[in-house]
Structure formats: C-alpha cells, structure tokens
Amino acid sequence: MKNNTISQRLLDLFAQNSNIPLSYNEINNALQLSKKEKILLSDTLSTMLQSNMLSKERKKYRLTKAPKSSLPSPIPMSSKLIEGIFDATPLSRNFSYAFVRTPDKDYFVGAEDTFNAYHNDVVALEAKLRRGKQEYGVIRKIIKRSSEQLAGDILKVKNKWTFVCSNPKIHNWFEVSDIAGAKEGEKVILTVTNWGSPLLGKLPVGKITEILGKSGDPQVELLAVIRQYNLPLEFPSDVTDAANQLSEVIPETEIKNRHDLRSLFTFTIDPASAKDFDDAISIEVTPQGWRLYVHIADVAHYLPVGGTIFTEAAKRGNSFYFPKKVIPMLPERLSNHICSLRPMEDKLCMTVETEFNRKGRTLSQRIYESVICSDFRLAYEEVDELFASSQTAQQVKSDFSPALVTALYESRELSRLLTARRMAAGYIFFDLPEIEYQYDTEGFVHRLTLAEETESHKLIENFMLIANEFTAEKLSLLSPTSMYRIHEDPDFNKLERLIETISFYGLSCVMHENLNKSLQYLLSSFPSPEYHKVFDRIVLRSMKKARYSIEHISHFGLALQNYTHFTSPIRRLCDLVVHHLCKMYLTKTSKQKFSHEQVKLYAQIASDQEIQADQAERDIERVYSKTFMKDKIGENFTGIVVGTSSSGVLVRLNEIPVTAMMKHGEFGTGTWDYFDKEMRYVNRSSGVYYQLMDCLKVKIIAVDDDVYLEPQKGNDAHEHVFDRDKYKPSAVAPTGKPGFHNRAKAIDAKSQHKKHDRRSGNATKHIKRKK
C-alpha cells in the first residue's frame, strides 16, 4: 500500500470489504501486523472510535461518516442570561444532552441547544421551563473558551489529517491545516484557529504547534494532560526570584515574638515519597487527659497579601499531584525547604493547642504563632507497622526512641476516642480506596494496587479536623468575612432515587431527624463486602460535592457546624488565605486585610481549581489503566457489577482494580429491557438478568476508548449475590420510619439545589438483538 499508516490501512481495508463489520482478530489477520503494530492498532481503533470515524457493536468495527450538525434556526437572545461552566461529560458517553454548572444549580441542556460549546467553556445560558414544570437551559453565548490548545492524536483519513483530542469530553474531531512535521502515533498539541459552526455544519480547524512524543508513553500521556488543562510547569521568573531572596535563617527577633516550642517533642507523619511537610504533631499526657499541638507551616509569614508569590499562588489555587509528578502551588524553595517542617530544622508555624479529657472531649483551645523543631520524620507505613506489632515502648527494637513510641501510642488512643465521638455525631465514612501505581525502570505501570486507609492516616485526619474546626469557629465569630469548606445537605430528589434503588436490593433507609445518622446506619447495614463495593459509591453520588465558600454553612459529611481548611497552606489556596485571616483576627499579629470580594474570589478560584485537579487526576488514571490493560486482551478475570447504563454494565475486576464495560450486545440473544431505577437488565424471553453485585467471569476483548469485556461460558460464570425471588424482608432494627416522611426536618429546603433528573422519561429501555 502507498500509505502505510495504520489508520489509512484500516480505511482501505473497510473500503475493500464494502464496509462489512470486522472483528479485532479479522482486522489483525487482514493487515498482518507485527507485535509492535498490534499495540498501535489498539490505539488507532480507540482514537477512531472516539472521533466517531468508527462505530462498534458486538465486538465488530464499522466505518462511519463524519458527524453532521443539525441546522437549527437562530434563537433570539434573552436579557435574562446565567453564566456557568459547560459540562460535556454526558455527550462523551453518547447521551444526547449535557449540563451547565452554576453556583446555584445545574441546568440540563439538550444536544441541540449547546451552541457549539465545548467542555469547561464559560457560557451564557437562558433558563426555560418544559411543559411549565421541568427546568432546562439553552446556551445563547460562548463567553470564554476553556482552552485554545488541545492535546491529542492525528489520523490521516482520505489524504486529510484529522485531530482527535485525548480528553474524551471534547466531543468533536478537528480538521488539521498544518501538521508541522507530526506523524501518526505521536501525541501533539493542536492550537484551534476556528471553532467551526454547528449552524453551517462546519468542523473546527486547528494547526499542530507542538509534538509531545510517542502516544502511549506514560510521561508523554502525563504531559498531554498537563497541556490539556493548561497547568503551569514553570514559575514566572519574578516569582522564582522573589522566592530565592527569602532566607531560611529565622531572626532572633522573630523567635522572641513567638511561642518557642523547639524543646517540645515533635514529629511528622507523611507519605514516604513526600517532600512538603506542612503539619507536625506534639502530644503530652496531662492530669485531665492530653494536650495536643497541631503545628502548621507558617507560609503566610513569607507570602504577604498581594505580593508576587502570593499572587501566583492565588492563580494556581492548589498543587496538582500526579503519578511521579507534582505541580506545586509554591516554588520549590518554599514548599520543599523554607516552609517544609523537616526534622532537626527550626521552622515557623501556626499552632493550635487543644486540651482533652480522658473521654476525648475538648476542654480548651487556643491558636498562636510558634517556632518548632521536628524530632522525627515518619512515613505512614512505619507507624502502621508499629501499631500492628502491639509492642510497648520498652519492647520495640527499632530506630524509634521510647519517647516517640510513647507519643505514637498516646496519639492512637486519643485518635480512637475522637473517631468514636465523630461517628456518634454522624460522621459518614465511605470505604473507597484509591488506586496506587507501581512502575518499572522505564516508567511504565507494571502493577495496580488499592491504597487502604490505615490507622495512621485516620490519626492524622482526626488531628487535622480538630485544627480546621477550631479555626473555622473562631473566624466565624471574629472575622467579618472568612472562607469555609462547606458540604450542603443532599438533594431530596437524589435521596429519593437512592431509596428506590436500594430497596430493590433488600435494603431500607430509616429516616431520623438527623439525616447523617440515617445514612450512617444505611452504610453500616450492608450485609457483605459486595454491598459496600457497589453501594458506598452509589450513596456518595447521591450527595453534593464539598466546596469553598464565604457562606457559613455546615459540613454535612463530617457532621460539623464549623469547618474550613487550615492545615495545608503549602498546597491549598484556602489554607493560605485562612492563615492570613487568623493572623488578622485571631492572633492579631498582622494588619493586612482582605476585602469581602477578595475572599469571595479566592473561594471561587479554590473550588474551580480543585475540580480541575480532580478531573486531571481522573484523566491520568483512565489513561494509565488503559495502557496497563492493553496486553491483557484475551485474558480471563472475575469481577462484580458495580454500575449500569443504557450501554451495558460496569464490572470492577477482582484481580486488578480496573472498571471495565460489558455492553448489552454481549449479554446474549433476544430483547433486553433496561430498568433504570433498579439498575438492571432483563431478557424479555428467558428472564435472565444482569444487575448490581452480580459476580461474573469475563474476558478482555478490546482496549480502545475503554476496556471492554465479554462473559465467559459455564454454569458458574454468572452468579447473583442478591436474588430478589428468594429475598425475604427482615425487621428494621432501629426506630424510625422507612422512606422520607418528614422532608422539612430531613433537609433544609433553603439549602437544596435541585438538579435535573438525569433519567430518561421511560421506565425501561428496550434493546433488541437478532437471534
């Protein structure tokens, strides 16, 4: 063939076969690919699926035409426009709608009303009512594009270059006017020169402005995500110059103006790979109980409000943590040296001192500026190993001193009391371990594991909560404006939907006036690990997302009336701002002040940047997981159904912490009805069904835009953890009434942000397959 690119060979192959659907193996055999080319084939198929050049059904690929936009007639502008952020997540999952996120609520937007908006664009929306009841939005204007530069891959289609964005939420493909020497199989940056026109059916256009490297290389994929989100890899020269001028030497005059705690036994507990240590702990046994010191790096001392470094930190909003890469909020000289609470070095801190009795009840608290010198730098794993040994301070044979071992055991005892008190107040805990990546010498992921929360993590979390809660309470009383970490009560409609779903699986939620206790009991009532693996996440999705705000609203998930973030000023803007507020109004050691509007702006920046960090980290997790699974095609695994959609079921594999898709086309012949509320598929003829918690034996059949599965055969290949036909309801243990019988007491109506019901109007969706 004249053109030897994989994508062109695929197009030629489909053309020669009159566009007959072809399986992965048929394509591989026809093209006679080498082992290295097979890896490129998976990437190319994934890219072409994502760009809608190919469609896939029943494990076979078919060539499709470029999408044509409908040509709706122009809609007159309205003066009542609402500014928000366009969220194309549903469009990327092949749904015909999207959302616009605003501070007050989320608006449903049909695909025909998106006005050429792309994911994370700032848009102007007009709110409307459908049939006088259901609210939805129509986008009238693009206020600001999220980014003019996109990371992705290029494909040559019929002698024309096409760009496909790595971010699947960029739901269109782009024409390329200049490839700048890029080759297929390379990750590139496209600068958009024309966003196209849905009204005229024209695709967007751009030119290649940077070649990042080979697609599939972990570091190249990471760089692509960094570019996609416009994350700053370098600090401006004036910021680094300002940081380099700061001295690590603490003047004696500064020490005299602070509480000198350098002789107090102090230690830090952090991840083994951490370099920025922004919190340290001291604990003393008292006649009443304990005296706990939470020392937090005094970053605000080095960053005056409005200064060069502070201004840059306010732009960044937070640090970004990726596998083997950190993009810090502060220059390294500050984050890893001057402000980092490294052992055996004098450091400036803000200290929250708390007296507890032997039941873990707070007796008194105060905050002040201090200077400390940490005695030990510990990793979580070391502390957990000590706790697991159950040895006394005299029995432990390690590098730990008796004083350190005693301090750790006393800390554990206090932490356990604090945990019990928080649970009694309604603290809601979800068992959702995160994925950890292990790498080979070339930087490729060679193993995925789950990071469980251990007692050492819980200890630090409990102590940080003490400091965060105290500073929030004091600032609410003394500061005209403050920044809080708020978590509003769950939306009633979402909770009602949750009740409907869990009741199908033999669960009930008994409603008390204390909604926290109701959900807490629900989580504790799950009868097996399979229930937790599935329903912890479903319950979490029924809750709202925590955010930063100047509104003094309680934190629902933590069951706290007062809460902010104070304990990580090296990596979070909120904490840095709160430190300055503490200096102004609590310790009264600073005269620098924020205006109401400044604090409001910083809260919005902190919230927006946190969302961006979460999205970027999820994108990296998705890319790394897919790359890891590419050589697993054809292998067998076991898994559990953790979710459903109109496309099929999501299966969490047991052997590898990866969630994969089994499309309904793999279920078997016949007509399958999808029941949205029950999250269940039922074969209309045979009665065979797929539902949450089903245990499956599956095979990996493809890795392209997602990891795809097919069921194995055999009597034990599909088992139901919950069988409704055999289910007999048991008596409800606690007092209360099932369901929501007192809406006003359960949820404050003023704090509700009703969201559009994302379900389709039909109770079921019929999916037919030929026999």
- pLDDT recorded at residue 674: 92
Task: Measure the CA–CA gap between 398 and 402, rounded to whole angstroms.
Answer: 10
For the cut 70, the answer to whether the pLDDT of residue 3 exceeds it is no
> Look-up: residue for tokens 């980092």?
340
pLDDT value of position 431? 82
CATH 1.10.10.10 in the chain is located at: 1-65
- Ranges of CATH 2.40.50.140 domains, the chain: 82-144, 633-730+763-769
Q: How far apart are CA 448 and CA 488, in angstroms?
A: 34
CA 728-730-735 angle, to 5 degrees, is 155
pLDDT digits (tens, 9 = 90+) for 656-684: 999 999 999 999 888 999 998 899 999 99
Over range 346-354, report the average pLDDT: 99
Residue 375 has pLDDT above 80, yes or no: yes
Q: How confident is the model at residue 438 (pLDDT cuts 50, 70, 90)?
A: confident
Residue 206 has pLDDT above 80, yes or no: yes
| pLDDT tens-digit series, residues 240-255 | 999 999 999 999 999 9
Q: What is the pLDDT of residue 17?
A: 61
Rounded CA separation 664/764 (Å): 14
**What pLDDT is recorded for position 68?**
38
- Look at residue 404 and give its three-state secondary structure: helix
Q: Give mean pLDDT, residues 54-61.
A: 75
With 0-12 CB in 10 A as exposed, 13-18 as middle and 19+ as buried, what is 348? buried
Phi and psi (nearest 5°) for 354? -130, 130
pLDDT tens track for 699-733? 999 988 789 999 999 889 999 998 876 655 543 43
Is the per-residue pLDDT at 303 higher than 70? yes
Q: Tell me whether residue 200 is exposed, middle or buried, using C-beta atoms within 10 angstroms of its C-beta: 0 to 12, 13 to 18, 19 or more.
A: exposed
Report pLDDT digits (tens) over 7-48. Answer: 777 777 776 665 577 888 878 777 777 766 776 787 777 777
Write out the CATH class of domain 1-65: mainly alpha
* pLDDT given for residue 741 in this prediction: 34
Does residue 739 surpass a pLDDT of 80?
no
Average pLDDT score over residue span 365-380:
97
Residue 131's alpha-carbon distances to 97, 128, 136, 478, in angstroms, are 18, 10, 11, 49
Total number of residues shown for the chain: 771
Q: What is the pTM of this model?
A: 0.82
Using H for helix, E for strand and C for coil, what is the string for 463-493? HHHHHHHHHHHHHHHHCCCCCEEEECCCCHH
d(CA 273, CA 252): 33
Q: Please provide the average confidence, as pLDDT, over all residues in the chain.
A: 86
Kind and range of the H or E run holding 701: strand 695-703
Q: How confident is the model at residue 446 (pLDDT cuts 50, 70, 90)?
A: confident
633-730+763-769 is classed CATH 2.40.50.140? yes
**CA quadruple 218, 224, 230, 236: dihedral sign:** positive
Residue 75, pLDDT score? 39
Give the model confidence (pLDDT) of 319-334 as tens digits: 999 888 899 999 999 9
pLDDT band at 437 (very low <50, low <70, confident <90, very high): confident
How far is residue 265's CA from residue 688's CA, in Å, rounded to a whole number?
64
d(CA 554, CA 562): 6
What's the pLDDT score for residue 757?
30
- The pLDDT, as a whole number, for residue 317 is 96
- Name the CATH architecture for the domain at 82-144: Beta Barrel (2.40)
| Share above pLDDT 70 across residues of the chain, in percent, rounded to a whole number | 87
The confidence band for 395, taking pLDDT boundaries of 50, 70 and 90, is: low
pLDDT confidence of 363, banded at 50, 70, 90? very high
- What does the pLDDT read at residue 397? 59
* pLDDT (0 to 100) of residue 727: 59
Contact (CB, 8 A) for 712 and 705? no
| The predicted structure's pLDDT at residue 671 | 92
The alpha carbon dihedral of 230, 234, 237, 239 has a sign of positive
506 versus 297: the higher-pLDDT residue is 297
pLDDT band for position 751 (50/70/90)?
Answer: very low
Predicted confidence at residue 76, as pLDDT, reads: 42
Q: pLDDT band at 379, cuts 50/70/90? A: very high
**Percent of the chain surpassing pLDDT 90:** 58
Q: Note the pLDDT of residue 65.
A: 54
pLDDT recorded at residue 6: 76
pLDDT in tens, 541-561: 899 999 999 999 999 999 999
753 — pLDDT class (breaks 50, 70, 90): very low
Confidence band, pLDDT 50/70/90 cuts, at residue 383: very high
Q: What is the mean pLDDT of residues 61-90?
A: 63
**CA-CA distance, 507 to 730, in Å (whole number)?**
9
Confidence of residue 173 (pLDDT cuts 50, 70, 90): confident
Do 349 and 341 meet the contact criterion of CB atoms below 8 Å apart?
A: yes
Q: Which has the minimum average pLDDT: 139-143, 379-383, 647-651, 754-758? A: 754-758
Highest mean pLDDT of the ranges 136-140, 446-450, 495-499, 562-566: 562-566
pLDDT reading at 296 higher than 90:
yes
Packing angle between helix 596-629 and helix 308-316, nearest 10 degrees? 50
The pLDDT value recorded for residue 726 is: 63
One-letter amino acid at 723 equals D
- Measured in whole angstroms, the distance separating CA 730 from the mean position of its chain's CA atoms is 36
CA distances from 8 to 25, 138, 153, 178, 306 (A): 18, 39, 14, 18, 55
Instruction: Identify the band that residue 223 occupies on the pLDDT scale cut at 50, 70 and 90.
Output: very high
Pairing of strands 174-178, 205-214: parallel
Whether residue 697 is predicted with pLDDT greater than 50 in this model: the reply is yes
Element spanning 535, H or E? helix 529-541
DSSP state for residue 556 in the 8-state scheme: T
pLDDT in tens, 571-621: 999 999 999 999 999 999 999 889 999 999 999 999 999 999 998 998 888
Task: Over range 112-134, report the average pLDDT.
Answer: 84
With 60 as the cut, is the pLDDT of residue 299 above it?
yes
At residue 760, the pLDDT reads: 30
pLDDT computed for residue 90 by the predictor: 81
Q: What is the pLDDT of residue 467?
A: 98
- Short-list 97, 30, 28, 24, CA closest to 56: 24
